[in-house]
A and B are shown apart, each in its own frame.
Chain A
Amino acid sequence: MTDGHPWRVHDLEITDVRCWNHLSIEIPNGLVVLCGPNGAGKTSIIEALVIATLGVSPRTSQLGELIRASASVMRVTGTFSESRAHDMTQHREIGYASGVGRRLSIDGAPVRQLAQWRRPSSVLVFMPEELRAVKGPPAARRRGLDRLLEAMVPGFSEHLSGYQEATTQRNALLRRARSTGIDPASAFAWETRMATHGAVVVQSRRDAITELRPRFAFWLEALGGGSGGVLELESSPSNLCAVDNDALVASFVEQFARLRPRDLAAGLTTTGPHRDDIWIGIGDRDLRRLGSQGEQRTAALALLLAHRDLLRAAGSGPILLLDDVLSELDPGRRQALLAALTGDEQVILSSADPDVSFADLPAETTIFQVRDGVCHV
């Protein structure tokens, strides 16, 4: 595993985020446990790490909500590196002020666009109150998969944004055609662009699901979630599942044209890769809707480890951020999870359990005590 380029965070500085007034910590390699009572700010540290790498919070879409009650500006900075040798170190900074907006920089140089600043493969995050990757809306599952593909498939993000741009143009055309009665004949030009980009998007998603499926099943079983875990791409339109990769473009062109009257009435594009979903289940039971809280947790964790395996195989080890992951696992599953976490990647997990059975933890573990506004070893 040493030939990969695992991500590392070396230090983190948080100013006026949630309950933290100011926090500056150095984060060692190996397994890091943030330990402390509820409400001490463990999750906020994990959240800050996500913000410092992806630029968005896993808990809210409004960065403004993160600003500490009596402050007006929040700031997160961190030193990250992409390989063990520290030769690719970068100092990342994100600030947010209500009314002013977001400020991003890398090594002190301002970066305008989030797309240039964010590092989609650098962290994988698990938050028990969220589980959006399993039980959230289709968009949440899609986004998880697309983030993985952005990191692994060169050109994927260009195709995805190309598809989105062409779809936005087609929607604008359909809406205006609906209100003014103009002929939407030029829609086919946008449909052709949507088909070209959309086919690459769908093909990449299919490939990723094929790679993830056995890994997901493996981890689901290892974590006690039972055997027979299945991932499946639910394509939109649904009959697309039967179409070979080579025929995707032609199939999209035909379907978009055929559904144009319906889309015209709706004023938007009703089918396409922007409506794809991922089926997550055990056998033929749909865990997204029918799974218990515990099953969904285990599935989310198994999916995260499957993503980790795939990124690892591609030579890019993400930092694993696992919030409150041990609490609901029985000792056997806890052991299985901890065994899964002994790799080359940095793992940061939080626990409210005052006496985590530290005997279980590997030797190279650092424990931070988080309480009363401080965080120390």
Chain B
Amino acid sequence: MLTPSLERLIAELSRLPGVGPRSAQRLAFHLLKAPNERTLALAGALTQMSERLRPCSRCFSFAEDELCPICQDQRRDRTLLCVVEEPSSILPIERTHEYRGYYHVLGGALSPIDGIDPGDLRIDELVRRVDAEGVTELIVATNPTMTGEATALYLSDLLRGKVQLTRLASGLPVGADLEYADELTLGRALLGRRVLE
């Protein structure tokens, strides 16, 4: 019933996260009905992305040139470096407008179960950057999960003495009600309480 090209499109769409065979079919039929220039624009965007995007040679986020836009920005604070697991963590931190330093993307977190050892992450590159770029504070912003915390511990042991290490605080979401907080988060928030100025 489906033509080979439509079948291929559905198969490719259903590989996307959160897209099952049914929604893939729905998307495919939607694209079928859309004007030609829209589908070509989408195809063009995909081609361009896969042709042009590559890892930034300094921070390993995504870039179209040698360096990503953040690494190219000379006005940022060279002494601050923020370590994240994936490039997707950079965007939310940037949106805070609270951070003016550079980033380093590890490409994941330590997880021996999944076969991810220190050698599989960009840790040697991180150590070289800390030595070479005059970094004074390293902000460890790996996820507050078991693997993210273990990675933070590993980094702190590796780099202790070379640079000041800080970890993102855990606590309550702004504007949230205490009664809806889970015990774990609230417990951490209590442990990490601060003196009122």
A236-248 CB contact bits vs B (8 Å, 1 = yes)? 0000000000000
Selected interface stretch from B10-18, B67-75, B106-114 = B106-114
B151 x A158 contact (CB < 8 A): no
A172 x B110 contact (CB < 8 A): no
Write out the residue numbers on chain B whose beta carbons fall within 8 Å of the beta carbon of A182: 117, 119
CB distance from B149 to the nearest CB of A (A): 6
CB distance from B189 to the nearest CB of A (A): 13
Write out the residue numbers on chain B whose beta carbons fall within 8 Å of the beta carbon of A189: 110, 150-151, 153-154, 157
A168 x B113 contact (CB < 8 A): yes
**Cα A154 to Cα B111 with chains together (Å):** 28
A155 x B184 contact (CB < 8 A): yes
CB distance from B148 to the nearest CB of A (A): 11
**Cα A185 to Cα B154 with chains together (Å):** 9
Partner of A176, one of B115, B118, B151: B115
Partner of A169, one of B118, B150, B157: B150
- Residue among B119, B151, B153, B157 with most chain A CB within 10 A: B153
**Cα A165 to Cα B183 with chains together (Å):** 19
Write the chain B residue with the least CB distance to A159. Answer: B184
Write out the residue numbers on chain B whose beta carbons fall within 8 Å of the beta carbon of A205: none
A162 x B154 contact (CB < 8 A): no
Determine whether A215 belongs to the interface, using a CB cutoff of 8 Å to chain B.
no
Determine whether A357 belongs to the interface, using a CB cutoff of 8 Å to chain B.
no
B113 x A186 contact (CB < 8 A): no
Write the chain A residue with the least CB distance to B145. Answer: A165
B112 x A155 contact (CB < 8 A): no
A155 x B150 contact (CB < 8 A): no
B146 x A162 contact (CB < 8 A): yes
A172 x B112 contact (CB < 8 A): yes
A169 x B115 contact (CB < 8 A): no
Name the interface residues of B108-140: CB closer than 8 Å to any CB of A. 110-113, 115, 117-119
CB distance from A159 to the nearest CB of B (A): 9
Write the chain A residue with the least CB distance to B152. Answer: A189
**Cα A173 to Cα B183 with chains together (Å):** 31
Write out the residue numbers on chain A whose beta carbons fall within 8 Å of the beta carbon of B150: 166, 169, 186, 189-190, 192-193
Determine whether B187 belongs to the interface, using a CB cutoff of 8 Å to chain A.
yes
**Cα A154 to Cα B185 with chains together (Å):** 12
**Cα A106 to Cα B24 with chains together (Å):** 32
Determine whether A5 belongs to the interface, using a CB cutoff of 8 Å to chain B.
no
CB distance from A260 to the nearest CB of B (A): 14
Name the interface residues of B69-109: CB closer than 8 Å to any CB of A. none
Determine whether A170 belongs to the interface, using a CB cutoff of 8 Å to chain B.
yes
Name the interface residues of A173-194: CB closer than 8 Å to any CB of B. 173, 176, 182, 185-186, 188-190, 192-193
A186 x B115 contact (CB < 8 A): no
Contact A155/B187 with A189-B150, A193-B149 known, Cβ cut-off 8 Å:
yes
Write the chain B residue with the least CB distance to A187. Answer: B112
Write out the residue numbers on chain A whose beta carbons fall within 8 Å of the beta carbon of B147: 169
Contact A169/B112 with A154-B183, A155-B184, A186-B117 known, Cβ cut-off 8 Å:
yes
Write out the residue numbers on chain B whose beta carbons fall within 8 Å of the beta carbon of A166: 146, 150
B117 x A173 contact (CB < 8 A): yes
B146 x A186 contact (CB < 8 A): no
B187 x A186 contact (CB < 8 A): no
B154 x A165 contact (CB < 8 A): no
**Cα A351 to Cα B112 with chains together (Å):** 52
Contact A186/B154 with A165-B146, A172-B113, A176-B112 known, Cβ cut-off 8 Å:
yes
Write out the residue numbers on chain A whose beta carbons fall within 8 Å of the beta carbon of B119: 182
B171-190 CB contact bits vs A (8 Å, 1 = yes)? 00000000000011001000
A193 x B146 contact (CB < 8 A): yes
Write out the residue numbers on chain A whose beta carbons fall within 8 Å of the beta carbon of B112: 169-170, 172-173, 176, 186, 190
Name 5 A/B residue pairs within 8 A (Cβ), A-sorted. Answer: A176-B112, A176-B115, A186-B112, A186-B154, A193-B146
The 6 A-B residue pairs with the shortest CB-CB distance, nearest first, are A173-B112, A172-B112, A189-B150, A189-B153, A189-B154, A172-B113
